[in-house]
Structures are given as C-alpha cells and as structure tokens.
Structure 1
C-alpha cells in the first residue's frame, strides 16, 4: 500500500514538473520552429511546428549578414563581464563587512540594502541619462556599465552566504596575521564560489537580455548589445522578417543556455547555501 502510494505521489510530482517544463520550453521550441520557416509559412493560417519549406540556412544567413552578429556578441560579452567584475569587487567586501565585522552603521547599511532592492532602474533612468549626456559619455561602454556596478542584490546574496561561514575560520585567519583584505581574498572568496556562480547567472542573464537601458543610452550600432541588435530586423515598409529574427534570437540565447547548463550544479549549490544561517 505504501509502495503504491509512493509511486502514485512520485508520478503526480513528475507529471506536474513535466507540465511546467513544457510551458517554459514552449516559446523556445516555437522559436526554433519559426527560425526554419519561410515567410509564407509563418503567416500561414495553419499552425505547424514542422516547417513546410525548410529555410534554416537562408534565415541564419540573413541573421549573420543583416547585422554584425560578431560585434553584437562581443558587446554583450564585454558589457556583462565588466558589470559582473565590478559588482563582485564591490559586493563581496561590503557583504563581508556586514556579515563578519561589528560597527555602528551595520544596521543602517542593512536597511539601505533592503531599500535598494526596491528601487528599479526605471526610477533612476532619467537623471542618469541627463548626467551622462552632460558628461558626453552616451554611446560608450561606460554608459552601459556604470549604473550597474553596485548591485544591492549581489550584496544581499553574498551577505546571506557569508553568514554561514564559521566565525572560527575568520578568527583563525586573523591569528595568523592576515589583514581583512587578505581574509577576503584567501579565505572568503575561495569558499564563496557557489554563491559567485549563482550570482553570475543572475547578473549575466539580466544584463545580456536587457533592452531598456541600452535603448536609452545607445544610438550608435557599434555599441549595440544583442537585444538592441534584434531591433534592426524590423522593417516598417517590408514587414518584419520573423524567420531571420528568430534565427538571430537563437544565436543570441544559445550562449546563455549553454552557460546555465554548464554551471547548473554550482548555481543550485549557491542558491541552497545562501539560505543557511551561520
């Protein structure tokens, strides 16, 4: 009786997970299907996932030639790498100080971090744009990177992770004569890779897919990020070329999917361990 109940419960859970996975994968499957269709198949009245006329080669050729895909991917990698690098360099020392050091402003900093989580980029977009315009730094990597160098979410994530690190380990490092920066570099960071990997996934996915901010500060195609580059497939007179658009979207999203699959184990570890409390 127990075995059958266990099997039934497991079957129900698996069915729910499969149903949820199908819902999340449906847009990606539709995108793969559309990337191989001719324009006539896309606007056909009958909906079919299998293309009647296979046009993968033509659509991918358009995606690679209509815009400089190499330049878009390079800009995306450069911007995401710079943002992530600055975020980690700032967030780890801040989180370590709040988690392991005692000072008067600790509670105030925690309140500021929690309030910072509530402020979206949309609320600060206008003053930032005006400031960058007066500094003449629009259409630059600086304009794309600078507003995101401090991540309050990253500080909060690392704070939760560092609280799980035993205080005895920190005290032992201090007895060995390490400075606080030495402890961060030689003790904290080597033990924080699961949290760093988890934060890397959040940061890279958010800024790789960001269209809002690049659309505001970039008008030069040389600095266009991948989502902004997709807008160049729009044509008001000839109509949108959805086949080439979906092919370009596949090219842009494939690196993210591959990176997540490779870092999946570390990502789960990081999210799980940030819930622990030392």
Structure 2
C-alpha cells in the first residue's frame, strides 16, 4: 500500500510539474491570440482578461493582411523552407547511409568531424558566407536564402542514427537483388526513414521559417522578405505599435507551424524515439 501510494503521489507530482511548465510555455501564445481579437481600447485598458470585452477580430486580421503583403511574405517562407528541406534531404540521406552502413577507411574520423561541425554556431561563419555570396552576385535572391543551408550537419547526424537501427540483412538482401548503393538509399532506406524525415523536417522548417538573422543580412528587396522580416516591417509600417493587428499578423505567421506539427506529431515522436535507439 505504501509503495502504491508513493507511486501515485510521484505520478501526480510529475504531471503537476509538466502542467505548470506547459502553462508557462503556452501563456505567451494564448495572450497573443487573445490580443489579436481585442480592440485598441480594450488592449489599452490592460489586465489579464483573455476574453475580449470588445471584439475586433475582423478589423485586426483585415488590417494585418492589408497593411503589408503578409501573404507574399508567407509564400516566400514556404518557398525557402521547402527548397532548403528538399536539398537537405538529398544530401543528408546518402551521407548518413555512407556513415552508418558502408565500411570504408576514415569513416570514424569523418563522423567525428560531423559531430564537431554541430558545435559551430551559424553566426560564426555568417560574414565569410556573406562575402562569398556577394562575390557570386546572388545577394538579395532566393538563392542567398537557400544555398547556405542545403547541407545540414544535424540532418546527417539524425539520419545516421536512424540508419544504425535498420537491420543489415535488409541491405544485404537488396544487394543480392542487384540494387546499387544509391538505389538502396532511395528505394529501401528512404521509405523506412519516414518517421526520422518527418522529425528532421519539423526541426528544419521551424528553424528556417523563424530565421530573422540571415534574411535581414542578405535581403534588401521587400518582395523577398520572409515571415519574421514581414512582421518587423509590419511593426514599422503605418500601423506602428497598434498591437491588435500586430498580434493578428504574428498569429497568422505561427499558425502554419502549429498546424503542421499537430498533423505530424505522431511521426515526429516516433522519429525522435527511433533515432535514439542503439
């Protein structure tokens, strides 16, 4: 009885801590959505009321769409994130397969270098990459937003960890059927790696959809702005610091990420779990 009671109390304590953490994490987003529905007068009154005393959802969201080309910014974000993720997958899968399943001299050294690259922050190499793009003449283009990120060291590491869990017998059977190594990567390994690809896709899309630093450096044409730059432009446009429309714009920018994660959460959790297996 004592053991059962202590176990139940421990479970309640764990769930209480998790619930408290969830409240702290979700509170800013709930406040953002609530503010996007309020009128300026209601917002100016302050307080923690989440339900608006005076509704202005239509006005706020209409102003968010009309004050700046927010939909164009979001389309730019879709183009950039999809292209980056597609190129990352094309490079990460063969590299991860070579590190996980092929036997060649220097494999451990190369994998150690991959792990070392994980320690290099992207901001540390921003200036050399910027100079390189300037000399190539591709600043202020989609290419300047995409090319620096087509190789994902994290993606290679994550996919390598997943491929380590795939039985060697499956690969040997494919080789006996006469399949080349590249065919094994795309026709055998890739279909089995869907959970890991979904997990990696969530990380990649969120990181580059929310990236403010790099687009701010390489872009000067407003028609190429990504969602974070669009939000910054929206704040300094004619609406100024009118928080209702500003929070409406932020809500529309974040909504696609939340919806995508909700649809992919089962695969995401499965992918993270499998890549941690030995």
Matched ranges for 1:179-194 at <5 A: 179-194=180-195
Q: Tell me the secondary structure at the aligned position of residue 236 of structure 2.
A: coil
2:218 counterpart of 1:217: yes
Q: Is the 8 A contact 1:129 1:217 kept in 2?
A: yes
Question: Which residue is equivalent to 2:127?
Answer: 126
For residues 165-204 of structure 1, what are the structure 2 equivalents within 5 Å? Answer: 165-204=166-205
TM (norm. structure 1) is 0.95
Alignment of 1:81-100 (within 5 A): 81-100=82-101
Distance 1:63 1:238 in 2: 9
Q: Which stretch shows the higher mean deviation, 13-22 or 195-204?
A: 13-22
How far, CA to CA, are the matches of 2:263 and 2:46 in structure 1? 39
2: CA distance between counterparts of 1:238 and 1:6?
A: 55
User: What SS does the aligned partner of 1:150 have?
Assistant: coil
Cα distance, 1:38 vs structure 2: 2.4
Q: How many residues align?
A: 277
**Partner of residue 275, structure 1:** 276
Are the aligned partners of 2:77 and 2:227 in contact in 1 as well (CA < 8 Å)? Answer: yes
Aligned to 2:78: 77
Aligned to 1:267, the other structure's residue is in SS state: helix
Shift of 1:134: 2.5
Q: Give the 3-state SS of the residue equivalent to 2:178 in structure 1.
A: coil
C-alpha separation between the residues in 2 aligned to 1:257 and 1:234? 23
- Aligned-residue offset at 1:73: 1.5
Q: Deviation of residue 135 (structure 1)?
A: 2.2
Q: Is the 8 A contact 2:77 2:209 kept in 1?
A: yes
Give unpaired runs (5+ residues) of structure 2.
none
- Following TM superposition, by how much is the alpha carbon of 1:45 offset from its aligned partner in structure 2, in angstroms? 4.7
* TM score, norm. by length of structure 2: 0.95
Distance in 2 between residues matched to 1:265 and 1:236, nearest whole Å = 40
Instruction: Indicate conservation of the 8 Å contact 1:233/1:241, yes or no.
Output: no
Q: Aligned-pair distance for 1:112?
A: 1.5
Change (3 A) 1:107 1:201: same
- Runs (5+) with no aligned partner, structure 1: none
Mapping 1:247-262, distance limit 5 Å: 247-262=248-263
Secondary structure at 1:102 match in 2: coil
Range 121-130 or range 94-103, more displaced: 121-130
Distance 2:151 2:206 in 1: 17
